[in-house]
Amino acid sequence: MTYDKAYFDKWYRSRTHRVRTPAQIRRIVAFTLSAAEYVLDRPVRTVLDVGAGEGHWQPMLAAVRPNLRYIGVEPSEYAVQRFGRRRGLRLGTVQRLADLGLHETHPEGFDLVICCGVLNYLPSKQIAGVLEQLRLHTSGLAWLELFTKDDEIEGDVATMRPKPPAWYGARLAAAGFVPCGLHLYAPRDLAIGLAALETGERS
């Protein structure tokens, strides 16, 4: 698939095909930012956005946290060339995060890790390794948008092959993620400080 201007025009700007409106995206940004700050008990300082597209989260985050450090990783040469400098995008893929040296430059990880509209498009055999890489970079919360075969999915669904919920749940758990609801996941060591019902734990 070619992630060129026509692709982003269709799925991000076309009133007919776009999956979310700008207002909906702003609400998601506000929600994930607030959730991460609730867990961290301080303002979010660093964000890693994997599969960032044109980096449309960056200006929304910067509007409320001007000093926030944002890194967007995106495989589209078009998006990085057009928006990279002003929105903090760098060329890369979710499968090759280890090649970008993020762990060396940010050994403490990122307060908020975003992976929106990416994971469902990966081959099944890559999911476990990708989740482990995302966990390695998460020191606060991760917003991992994943849909299962039980969900109604809109958008670019032609190449999606969603799995049952338990399939994803097992791989998220193996990677060290604990679900907090609404696509939010905490690293297992951080989740120790959360209430049982915040993470869905039941005796």
Q: What is the mean pLDDT of residues 165-169?
A: 96
| CA 90, 96, 97, 102 torsion-angle sign | negative
Question: Does residue 137 register a pLDDT over 70?
Answer: yes
Looking at the domain 29-196, which fold is it?
A: Rossmann fold (3.40.50)
Instruction: Indicate the pairing of strand 69-74 with strand 89-91.
Output: parallel
Instruction: Look up residue 28 and give its amino acid.
Output: I
Is the pLDDT at 203 greater than 80? The verdict is no
2 or 67: which carries more pLDDT confidence?
A: 67
3-state SS class at 12? helix
pLDDT for 156 equals: 60
173, two tokens: 């758990």
CB neighbour list of residue 25: distance below 8 Å, 6 or more residues apart: 56, 57, 60
Please tell me the predicted confidence (pLDDT) of residue 29.
96
* CA 187 – CA 178 distance, rounded (Å): 6
- Strand, helix or coil for residue 43: coil
* DSSP conformation class of 10: I
Specify the residue for token string 């026509």.
6
Q: How far apart are CA 162 and CA 148, in angstroms?
A: 5
Looking at the predicted structure, is the pLDDT value of residue 173 above 80?
A: yes
Question: Does this model's pTM top 0.75?
Answer: yes
Quick one: tokens of 114?
């975003």
* 21 alpha-carbon distance from chain centroid: 18
Average pLDDT, the chain: 90
Q: 46 pairs with which residues across the strands?
A: 69
**pLDDT at position 192, please?**
86
Q: Where are the domains of the chain?
A: 29-196
Cα 90 to Cα 81: distance, rounded to the nearest angstrom: 9
Sign of the C-alpha dihedral computed for residues 146, 49, 112 and 60 taken in this order: negative
Mean pLDDT is lowest, of 8-22, 41-55, 73-87, 124-138, for 8-22
